[in-house]
Amino acid sequence: MKLSASLVFYDRLDYSRGWDLQRRLVQERAADRCPDTLLLLEHPHVFTFGRSAQAHDCGEPEDHLRDLGFPVYQVERGGSATYHGPGQIVGYPILALRSFCSGPKAYIRCLEEVLIKVLAEWDIKGRRIEKFPGVWVGEDPPKKIGCVGVRITRGVTMHGFSLNVGVDLSPFDRIVPCGIPGCRVTSMAKLLGQPLDTAVVRSRIATLFSQVFGLTWIRSQDGQPPHSQRVSTRIRPTDPVGLRDGRCRDATPQIFEHLPSQKIEEELGSYE
């Protein structure tokens, strides 16, 4: 049986507003006052730095970036430096994780699987690289096309993933992307040699996300997630909770059945 979830699209949303919305939804989801939710959107130009970011990951002083018109945020997600901007689709899943995955590593692999499946629909072969979360394309050297960085609080996910569709890649030159020296980035449009309709890609992300995570979408008409509908966070034996050989496997994460909420949070932690 599929779980119901809210799907919310924003054409463009300031990072600060999106960050605040995530935090409010996490509180609501942890209290079981709203359904699992996926926010799909684009941000105006912005740099964000996660919990593992080092000073040298920002190639220029933050004040200089701000003077150039780039807001800069230090955020609680895992991982290091990244850039968001128009033409990049960002996904923020707000999920009661134990309903879907056995832990953060399985969750990361599910997010990567969504992006790999999306790329495949445009005949782009995305892949994982061990110890470097996200989705990569090509060889010698590989280039990053999809980023993943999450935070899990009280068993509920926030932050999430981004996919470079037709985004201007030049701002990435101002940082060390993902804190990986020499990391190169690319986009779907660059690989295909033509522009893409981000609305079409966004729609495919929504569809494939629902397939990987076993969800049925509740579409919000006004761009705001519903807050009144309660959904059960009880684990069912048929809920997908991880990946094996690139496919979601079904199992019940018994480790979470009998743990207090504080212990679940320690087990999940933050991850990128």
Residues belonging to the active site: 178
Residues 122, 136: Cα–Cα separation, whole Å: 15
Amino acid present at 153: T
Long-range pairs for 247-250 at CB < 8 Å and ≥24 separation? 248/110, 248/113, 248/212, 248/213, 248/214
Q: In the 3-class helix/strand/coil scheme, how is the chain assigned residue by residue?
A: CCEEEEEEEECCCCHHHHHHHHHHHHHHHHCCCCCEEEEEECCCCEEEECCCCCHHHECCCHHHHHHCCCCEEECCCCCCEEEECCCEEEEEEECEHHHCCCCHHHHHHHHHHHHHHHHHCCCCCCEEECCEEEEEECCCCCEEEEEEEEEEECCEEEEEEEEECCCCCHHHHHECECCCCCCEECCHHHHHCCCCCHHHHHHHHHHHHHHHHCEEEEECCCCCCCCCCCCCCCCCCCCEEEEECCEEEECCCHHHCCCCHHHHHHHHCEEC
d(Cα 176, Cα 173) in Å, to the nearest integer? 7
